[in-house]
């Protein structure tokens, strides 16, 4: 009788270990949950939305303009002691010429069409990307901006982000249930 109980106990421990190992592998290499903090991606994402990002595609391909990504935030007063992650949209790609002028983003001297933003969205310059100043995105770097341009701390202030700091591509919103579903990544 004790042998049967002991075997059952060992089988349960083995099953729990396998489930936990599977979860850790999925978390580390495939998918990862994130919570949106703040309104920088409004109206497309709201404060306290929960999303899932996939971590594999950017190992085989580069991010595309318009995709929504999660990346390691540059060191700031808020993130100095802990590692923070931001969710923003890919706006400029490596080696592109970017500028903000008169409320619009220009890529290689062409105004960027941003259908995912509400009509009348005004993009102001920041402490890194000054009004009318052109900057070239370095190789293997990107410019990420929030959709809520008047309420987002983004690349206009902290600059370009290296591809190695991209955590994953947002693919699914699972909370709140009213927004449940696939994330529309407006890649062009």
**Which residues are annotated as catalytic?**
40, 88
Name the β-bridge partners of 34: 51
If DSSP codes are grouped into helix, strand and coil, which group holds residue 125? coil
Tell me: cis bond preceding 43? Omega within 30 of 0 counts: yes
Distance CA 145, CA 87 (A): 9
Name the one residue in this structure whose structure tokens are 């591809």.
163
Give the SS3 label for residue 116. Answer: coil
């Amino acid at each position: 009788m004790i042998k049967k109980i002991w075997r059952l106990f060992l089988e349960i421990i083995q099953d729990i270990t396998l489930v936990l190992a599977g979860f850790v592998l999925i978390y580390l290499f495939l998918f990862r949950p994130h919570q949106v903090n703040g309104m920088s991606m409004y109206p497309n994402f709201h404060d306290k939305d929960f999303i899932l990002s996939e971590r594999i595609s950017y190992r085989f391909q580069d991010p595309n303009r318009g995709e929504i990504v999660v990346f390691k935030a540059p060191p700031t007063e808020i993130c100095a002691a802990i590692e923070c992650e931001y969710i923003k949209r890919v706006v400029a790609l490596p080696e592109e010429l970017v500028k903000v002028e008169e409320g619009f983003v220009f890529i290689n001297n062409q105004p960027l069409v941003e259908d995912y933003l509400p009509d009348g969205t005004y993009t102001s310059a920041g402490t890194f990307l000054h009004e009318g100043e052109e900057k070239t995105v370095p190789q293997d770097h990107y410019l990420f901006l929030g959709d809520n341009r008047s309420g987002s701390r983004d690349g206009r202030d902290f600059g370009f982000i290296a591809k190695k700091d991209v955590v994953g591509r947002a693919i699914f919103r699972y909370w709140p249930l009213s927004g449940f579903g696939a994330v529309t990544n407006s890649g062009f």
